[in-house]
Amino acid sequence: YAPSELTDSYRILSTPSSFAKDTLFYIQEIGKLKSLKSHTSKREALDSFLFIIVVSGSGSFTYNGKTYSLKTGDHLFIDCKNPYSHKSTDSDPWELMWVHFNGSLMDQYYHYFTNKTSSITFRPENQSEFNSLLENLITLANKKSTDSELLSSHLLNSLITRVLTDSTDQTTKELAAIADKIQHIKDYLDGNFQKKIPLDMIADEFFISKY
């Protein structure tokens, strides 16, 4: 297919100044995409970091050999030096907003992200804030000035901070929920230790897999 038959997209390529590359967070590419036909896009070995919002629809994203199913409201953050690919579903084509960006400290930020979270995807409680950040970054990417680079860096810093805190909070909540369920199971076993309790019964009682 010709590119126009695959996607309806709008993107801005940005070339940072030497000042921005040395001292700021800076945009490399930003835009919106609506999938028209299901197809696989593959990239690797990019000196860039990618943040994606699934605005609507669904699809799959493969990163470092692991595939994630994504749907409306999912957010994703990766280091593009590693290979990745993505594909929209045929039945529910997705619409994405994304930004490729970088900065002198981004390797350390991403290292923090991977140490604190168990997944490259998350669903923030306040999704509108992330949408607004990307919309404002798109506006600034259309302006070529030192001020716009400074303002973009400020917004990217806010974006990174929100990604790190929201994804960490989500992982913490998930771990807390698992710990809470385990405690309930332990209490149940302590209260019924004289009975024969098969795994199937526990699985049915607490809505979990016996494995």
Q: What is the pLDDT of residues 95-115, one digit of tens each?
A: 999 999 999 999 999 999 998
Residue 171 has pLDDT above 70, yes or no: no
Are the CB atoms for 163 and 113 separated by under 8 Å? Answer: yes
Average pLDDT over residues 53-65: 95
Give every CB contact of residue 20 below 8 A, 6+ residues apart in sequence.
26, 149, 153
pLDDT in tens, 65-77: 999 999 999 999 9
Which pLDDT does position 207 carry in this prediction? 78
Q: Looking at this protein, which amino acid is placed at residue 9?
A: S
Are the CB atoms for 97 and 131 separated by under 8 Å? Answer: yes
Length of the chain: 211
Residue 11 has pLDDT above 80, yes or no: yes
d(CA 25, CA 63): 23
Whether the full predicted model's pTM is greater than 0.85, yes or no, is no
Residue 3 has pLDDT above 60, yes or no: no
Residue 155 has pLDDT above 90, yes or no: yes
Give every CB contact of residue 161 below 8 A, 6+ residues apart in sequence.
none
pLDDT in tens, 101-152: 999 999 999 999 998 888 999 998 888 999 999 999 999 998 877 799 999 9
d(CA 59, CA 70): 5
* Dihedrals phi, psi of 145, to nearest 5 degrees: -155, 165
d(CA 68, CA 163): 18
Average pLDDT over residues 22-32: 96
Are the CB atoms for 44 and 156 separated by under 8 Å? Answer: no
Are the CB atoms for 54 and 69 separated by under 8 Å? Answer: no
